[in-house]
Structure 1
Amino acid sequence: MMKKTFILLLVLTSFVFSCSDDDDNTSNTLTLNLQGLEALGDDFVYEGWIIVNGAPISTGVFSSVTFPQEFTVSAKDLQLATTFVLSIEPKNDTDPAPSNTKILAGDFALNQAIINSKAVVGDFSESSGKYILATPTNGNNTNEFSGVWFLDLSSGSPATGLDLPELNSGWKYEGWVVMNGQPISTGTFSSVSGFDDNATTSTFKGSINDGPPFPGEDYIQNAPTGLTFPTDLRGAVTVISVEPYPDNSSAPFAFKPLMANIPTNAADHATLSLTVGPLSELTGTVSR
């Protein structure tokens, strides 16, 4: 009798451990439904993460921006997850942790997380801006409609023209002018009251100086194929975008918090206003 009891105990113990292992190995579906996301350059992918006990666990990478998309995730981890985060990662990334370039995040409430970009990129709801048309880098007061500078000259002296939040790590601002449907960068920048990143190296600017210590660009020489410099920016569109950093795409990213249709009758050195851009926030839902 004792022998039979012992064998029965072994069987029950084996069953319990087997069920426990099965529970640990079961998986559930995580569904992403995101709005406004755009394709990345060839060297980068999106990667989802769930935060479990304070640690990130990858839910998988993707390049397509057609949604909804589904991912298979450990049922145990998914149930314990408190937060979902979406980041931008190098395509052949060997780092097991999320990059600094986080684009969406939100906490789970029951089986869904409503995610947005405000907390991890920036809140652009109060953003505004001023700009002028001028070409200070050629130094001869000619072709004054061939440059755009994001500054305020209404007081008679150059002042900060952009009111934008400080970006979280992994992001930079970039100015653009769209000429004949072609976006041409004015340069990337982190500070609205300092030289942008290409102030000394721009191939477009004039040869007299680097211009004022504000974001902007003169389009004086070395025009891309299909364009002619100097030019007349009146009637063109100027945009401030928010770009991943690092970024391998030559096109503006999805975030475009400020823009302006440059008036066809604009005067040079007159202070003009930027308006709300086409996209200042990304949103979506994550379901488990």
Structure 2
Amino acid sequence: MIKKVFLAVFALSILTVSCSDDDNPVTTSRLTLDLDGLEALGPDYVYEGWLIVDGNPVSTGTFSSVSFPQSFTVNRAQLDAATTFVLSIEPAVDPDPAPAETKILAGDFSGNSANVNSNGIVADFASASGKYILATPTDTDDTNEESGVWFLDNSSGSAVAGLSLPTLTDGWKYEGWVVINGTPISTGTFLTANTADDNAATSPYKGNDNNGPAYPGEDYLQNAPAGLTFPTDLKEKTIVISVEPSPDNSTAPFTLKPLAHVVPANAMNHTTIAMGDGPVKSLTGTVSR
């Protein structure tokens, strides 16, 4: 009798589990990111992934680590229906549930994977080029001309923009840098190459006579950061153009650096110098579902 009761209970338990599985199918799935070239953000910002489902963004979660691959648990139906993956940079404490303007990677799903890159969502820097001169036009001293860099081309006898850069999407700005003894010092942020940069009138480094040419650039003449001395000599120093999140997440250069150049030791002041490709012109990765 006991045996019959046990078998009946066992059969009922199997039936109950079976019905439970049928009534509650798996509702989540795993999304895996394998991304190249991302750098850690400042402490107040995080990366956030987004699925585009029926034209609407659905968050896949935030992360700070830039070690990959990383996996996230997401709604299975939404993941199956997603057409595109987007990665943005968001405030760590974010009152806005929508994606920020600063989007860094995107790509469409083809089957169960999406090849993502920065070219379309930030800009395509394949054809970016740059020129600059050494000069210090913000003072009247002509003995320190190698202590300033200006992104202009005066090879024709008249100054024109020295940078040929694509228009950035919303949420990004360009920034110039010189690296002096391992320390990157900004020349200022800008959106277009044919106007002065954002700190033209407020730079602590320029001389006191004027703001300089109407192009991005900087004179390093006073108020040197700790450990450095201004005026300086920019020969054999590295000049860089980076692409920065706006608002910026760090005082250091961001990972996207489409143009760079080491100033030749024999560089002549007031003479146009061509830049070369920077170390990172695009970011890529794979997203799998």
Retained in 2: the 8 A contact 1:135–1:142? Answer: no
**CA displacement, residues 147-186 of structure 1 (integer Å, 9 cap, x when unaligned):** 0000001011111100000000000000000000110000
Map 1:134-153 → 2, pairs under 5 A: 134-153=135-154
Query: Counterparts of 1:175 and 1:100 in 2: how far apart (Å)?
Result: 22
The answer to whether residue 34 in structure 2 is matched with residue 39 in structure 1 is no
Amino acid in the other structure paired with 1:176: W
Map 1:145-164 → 2, pairs under 5 A: 145-164=146-165
Q: In the alignment, which residue of structure 2 is the partner of 1:241?
A: 242
Retained in 2: the 8 A contact 1:139–1:209? Answer: no
**CA displacement, residues 221-265 of structure 1 (integer Å, 9 cap, x when unaligned):** 000001000000001000000000001311100000000110011
3-state secondary structure, aligned to 2:35: strand
Query: Counterparts of 1:278 and 1:203 in 2: how far apart (Å)?
Result: 29
Which range is displaced more, 44-53 or 134-143?
A: 134-143
3-state secondary structure, aligned to 1:125: coil
Q: What's the RMSD between the two structures over aligned residues?
A: 1.7
How many angstroms does 1:19 deviate by? Answer: 6.7
How many angstroms does 1:21 deviate by? Answer: 6.6
How many angstroms does 1:22 deviate by? Answer: 2.6
Q: Percent identity?
A: 63
How many angstroms does 1:18 deviate by? Answer: 7.0
Query: Counterparts of 2:253 and 2:23 in 1: how far apart (Å)?
Result: 48
Retained in 2: the 8 A contact 1:47–1:86? Answer: yes
Where do 5+ consecutive residues of structure 1 fail to align? 1-14
How many angstroms does 1:20 deviate by? Answer: 8.1
Q: In the alignment, which residue of structure 2 is the partner of 1:210?
A: 211
Q: In the alignment, which residue of structure 1 is the partner of 2:189?
A: 188
Matched residue count: 274
Q: In the alignment, which residue of structure 2 is the partner of 1:65?
A: 66
Q: In the alignment, which residue of structure 1 is the partner of 2:288?
A: 287
Q: In the alignment, which residue of structure 1 is the partner of 2:85?
A: 84
Query: Counterparts of 1:229 and 1:194 in 2: how far apart (Å)?
Result: 25
**CA displacement, residues 176-224 of structure 1 (integer Å, 9 cap, x when unaligned):** 0000011000000001000100000000000000000000000000000
Query: Counterparts of 2:105 and 2:210 in 1: how far apart (Å)?
Result: 40
TM-score (norm 2): 0.92
Where do 5+ consecutive residues of structure 2 fail to align? 1-16
Query: Counterparts of 1:20 and 1:30 in 2: how far apart (Å)?
Result: 24
Which range is displaced more, 131-140 or 78-87?
A: 131-140
3-state secondary structure, aligned to 2:188: strand
TM-score (norm 1): 0.92
C-alpha distance 22-229 of structure 1, shift in aligned 2 (>3 A): same
Retained in 2: the 8 A contact 1:241–1:252? Answer: yes
Q: In the alignment, which residue of structure 2 is the partner of 1:175?
A: 176
Q: In the alignment, which residue of structure 2 is the partner of 1:5?
A: none
3-state secondary structure, aligned to 1:45: strand
3-state secondary structure, aligned to 1:206: coil
**CA displacement, residues 257-279 of structure 1 (integer Å, 9 cap, x when unaligned):** 00011001111001000000000
How many angstroms does 1:31 deviate by? Answer: 0.2
